[in-house]
């Protein structure tokens, strides 16, 4: 018999596979989107796209995020995160290939398919992280946001030079990003072993008090005897039906759901998510055009967009870790929104030679806001199931709000012939985001669903209930959460 690997080595290997898979997925979360704006002038000339059509193209990904995010939690409860995420990566690859093969016909359908897949990845990656590695959730979220920023940097930096080096090949400039997505599909395959199991029990056994399983159950006696392994969701082994009961009766592992829309905290997290997305996608879509209108070349404008992604990179790893360690995140929210407003204003009204400074400030601040938005969706939920639902709700409503950003900037510019009015509107919205961010940053957690973790006495993974709130879905708790 071959010698089995030691539990510590096995856990290390499985942790490495998880981190690699999350990084590969995160790397592809923005390439389909950030590769387009630097090419807008060329796409307009080559494909005969009007300014209104370009505005619609810039808004298409955000609309898809809003619509598809609403169904992500339901899909997760039906098939499990790991499987759904694999299918999403496959669809992302297909969408990028389609718009690369025939840009004149498939530019909008391919972009919509790729953005819909990214919407599912946006929602379920954070809830999977909370379930698989709760003790290091902030770190792993920071890692995948860092990979997201790297992907945005590369796609912004390479799009225009690749287009020019290929002799003006739009199919190559758009379709090349299907390669990293296909690689992510391959790297994700090992994670299928660790999806949420369908637990079985004997017909004579009582129904467990908490049907929600936060992580796969170790199947082997060796794992059960190892307390570290049993407590480590990353290294848990896949469960089989025969290892649970000889007389299987299916048990629903999904927790009872609460009505998220009834709680003020839900709307605060949602508003913060929506406004930060609106500001990000408005800047992402139109800053290259703004800089070209001010006299920059297409390559320089693409480089400035890449510099904004470098700023995202600088804070994407640090902010979730800091947020995880602090009971309240107000000290992170306030400077992030001040920096966002300063960066936006400087990008338009400061001298063009200082644009790199303001773009870097904007990128750092927006990366911090994105990290906080993702963290809030985990930290304000008492268990992974509620986290997936909160993430789906916040991203669905939030992105539907955010789709007004690129559209509003484009249409106001067309109507006024100036970028001043659109920028003033964005600065007002930054002030609104600051207000809701201060509320969302308080150390509150939504009440647990009946029969969820709170009812069994298990503490929430992240954040903390306010004083006097038990997390058991009691009337007192629900009133406190509704008041926000």
DSSP 329-379: -HHHHHHHHHHHHHHHHHHHHS-GGGHHHHHHHHHHHHHHHHHHHHHHHHH
Mean pLDDT is lowest, of 93-107, 370-384, 439-453, 461-475, for 461-475
Mean pLDDT of the chain: 78
Residue 135 near residue 365 (C-beta atoms within 8 A): no
Beta carbons within 8 Å of 257's beta carbon, 6+ residues apart: 385, 386, 389, 449
| CA 85 – CA 184 distance, rounded (Å) | 11
Phi, psi dihedrals of residue 201, rounded to the nearest 5°: -145, 165
Cα atoms found within 13 Å of the Cα of residue 121, Cβ hemisphere only: 31
The residues pairing with 156 across neighbouring beta strands, listed in sequence order, are none
Per-residue model confidence (pLDDT) at position 339? 96
pLDDT at 244 over 80: no
Return the closest-CA partner of residue 99 out of 151, 57, 59, 158. 57
- Residue 133: the pLDDT is 79
**Residue 104's CB: how many other CB atoms inside 10 A?**
11
User: What is the CB-side half-sphere exposure of residue 289 using CA atoms within 13 A?
Assistant: 24
Say if residues 272 and 373 touch (Cβ distance below 8 Å).
Answer: yes
294: helix, strand or coil: coil
- Closest to 211 in 3D by CA, of 254, 171, 242: 254
Nearest 5°: phi and psi at 249?
-130, 125
Residues forming beta bridges with residue 201, ordered by sequence position: 249
250 three-state secondary structure:
strand
Lowest mean pLDDT across 421-430, 441-450, 471-480: 471-480
Determine the average pLDDT of the residues in 7-23.
81
Q: How confident is the model at residue 253 (pLDDT cuts 50, 70, 90)?
A: very low
- 320: nearest Cα among 464, 136, 446, 465: 136
Return the ∠ at Cα 422 (arms to 417 and 426), rounded to 5°: 170
Centre a 10 Å sphere on the Cβ of residue 205 and count the other Cβ atoms it contains.
13
How many angstroms separate the CA atoms of 297 and 423, rounded?
21
| CA 98 – CA 110 distance, rounded (Å) | 5
CA 294 to chain centre: 33
Which tens digit of pLDDT belongs to each residue from 110-152?
Answer: 999 999 999 999 888 877 887 887 777 778 878 888 888 888 8
Q: What angle do CA 29, 34, 36 make, to 5 degrees?
A: 130
State the Cα–Cα distance between residues 117 and 97, nearest whole angstrom. Answer: 13
Q: What is the pLDDT of residues 336-386, one digit of tens each?
A: 999 999 999 999 999 999 999 999 999 999 989 988 998 998 889 888 778
Q: What is the pLDDT of residue 268?
A: 95
Report the C-alpha gap between 277 and 271 in whole angstroms: 10
Token representation of residue 191? 């994670």
Decide if pLDDT at 199 tops 80: no
């Amino acid at each position: 018999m071959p010698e089995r690997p030691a539990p510590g080595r096995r856990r290390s290997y499985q942790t490495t596979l998880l981190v690699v898979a999350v990084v590969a997925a995160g790397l592809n979360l923005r390439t389909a989107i950030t590769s387009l704006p630097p090419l807008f002038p060329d796409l307009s000339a080559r494909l005969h796209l009007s300014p209104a059509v370009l505005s619609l193209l810039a808004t298409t990904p955000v609309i898809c995020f809003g619509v598809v995010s609403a169904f992500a939690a339901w899909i997760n409860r039906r098939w499990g995160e790991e499987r759904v995420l694999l299918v999403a990566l496959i669809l992302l690859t297909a969408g990028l290939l389609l718009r690369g093969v025939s840009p004149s016909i498939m530019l909008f359908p391919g972009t919509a398919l790729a953005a819909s897949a990214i919407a599912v990845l946006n929602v379920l990656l954070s809830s999977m992280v909370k379930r698989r590695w709760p003790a290091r959730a902030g770190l792993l979220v920071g890692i995948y946001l860092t990979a997201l920023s790297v992907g945005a940097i590369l796609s912004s930096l390479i799009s225009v030079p690749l287009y020019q080096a290929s002799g003006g090949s739009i199919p190559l400039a758009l379709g090349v990003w299907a390669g990293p997505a296909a690689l992510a599909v391959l790297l994700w395959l090992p994670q299928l072993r660790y999806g949420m199991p369908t637990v079985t029990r004997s017909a004579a056994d009582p129904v467990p008090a908490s049907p929600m399983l936060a992580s796969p159950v170790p199947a082997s006696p060796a794992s059960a005897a190892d307390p570290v392994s049993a407590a480590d969701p990353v290294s848990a082994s896949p469960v089989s039906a025969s290892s649970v009961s000889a007389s299987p009766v299916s048990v629903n592992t999904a927790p009872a759901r609460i009505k998220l829309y009834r709680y003020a905290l839900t709307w605060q997290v949602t508003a913060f998510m929506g406004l930060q997305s609106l500001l990000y996608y408005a800047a992402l879509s139109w800053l290259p055009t703004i800089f070209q209108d001010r006299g920059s070349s297409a390559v320089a404008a693409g480089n400035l967009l890449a510099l904004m992604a470098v700023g995202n990179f600088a804070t994407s790893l640090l902010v979730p870790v800091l947020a995880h360690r602090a009971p309240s995140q107000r000290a992170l929210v306030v400077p992030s929104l001040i920096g966002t407003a300063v960066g936006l204003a400087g990008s338009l009204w400061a001298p063009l030679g200082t644009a790199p400074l303001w773009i870097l400030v904007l990128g750092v601040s927006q990366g911090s806001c994105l990290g906080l938005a993702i963290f809030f969706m985990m930290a304000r939920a008492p268990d992974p199931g509620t986290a997936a639902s909160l993430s789906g709700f916040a991203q669905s409503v939030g992105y539907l709000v955010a789709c007004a950003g690129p559209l509003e900037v484009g249409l106001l510019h067309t109507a006024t012939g100036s970028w001043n009015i659109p920028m003033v509107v964005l600065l007002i919205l930054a002030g609104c985001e600051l207000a809701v961010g201060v509320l969302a940053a308080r150390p509150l957690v939504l009440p647990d669903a009946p029969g969820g973790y709170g009812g069994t006495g298990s503490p929430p993974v992240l954040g903390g209930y306010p004083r006097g709130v038990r997390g058991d879905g009691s009337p007192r708790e629900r009133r406190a959460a509704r008041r926000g």
